[in-house]
Amino acid sequence: MTACAQWKDAIAGHALGEAADPALSAHLAACPGCAQGLRESQAAAAQMDETLRRLTKVEPPPFGPERIMARIHEGKPAATTGWWRWAVLAAAAILVAVILWSGRPPRQTDVAALVMWRSPTESLLRPPLDAAWSTMPRLGQGFYEVKPLGEKHAQ
């Protein structure tokens, strides 16, 4: 015998202490399956609450306060209190690094040097006799300058 699917939510809520509305009350009175479902839900809710209470019902170990007082007298700090100091130090270091990085002078671009710059491999691309070629006379161009004969004796 099972509870009607459309009433399951309302039955669970009622089992956990919610007030039953008139429609649910009327249905529970007429439906043995849902009435049984309510009894099961109430039993499970009671068991659940009891178990939840038991889960945290623990006795602390003996001499716990004595151990704490002993650590206080020894001057030992709490193990978990120092972590934030390291976090603050790390954050400060990062902040200083960012400030130093953003505060450095901007790089100047030397345009003249860029214009004059030549690749060091450029000279390797020229033939070895490049200089000779550029100084050799070309066809039709006089190599020696010849003066007319009459000029020498014209005096």
Q: Which of 22, 53, 86, 147 binds other proteins (CB under 8 A)?
A: 53
Return the number of the residue (64 or 148) whose C-beta is nearest other proteins: 64
Q: Which residue number, 50 or 110, has a Cβ lying nearer to other proteins?
A: 50
Token digits for 47? 């068991």
DSSP structure class, residue 17:
T
Query: Which residue, 77 or 137, is less far from other proteins as judged by CB?
Result: 77
Separation CA 42–CA 20 (nearest Å)? 13
Indicate the SS3 state at residue 152.
helix
For the purposes of burial, counting CB atoms within 10 Å of the CB of 35, is it exposed (0-12), middle (13-18) or buried (19 or more)? Answer: middle
Residue 80 is a binding residue for other proteins (CB under 8 A): yes
Q: Give first-to-last CA distance, the chain, whole Å.
A: 151
Position 88 contacts other proteins (CB under 8 A): no
Is residue 19 at the binding interface for other proteins, with CB under 8 A as the rule?
no
Using the rule CB under 8 A, which residue among 4, 33, 71, 91 binds other proteins? Answer: 71
Candidate list 7, 10, 14, 15; residue touching other proteins; CB under 8 A: 15
Residue (of 39, 35, 47) closest to 15 by Cα position: 39
Contact residues for other proteins, defined by CB under 8 A:
12-13, 15-16, 40-41, 44-45, 47-49, 51-58, 60-61, 64-65, 67-69, 71-73, 76-81
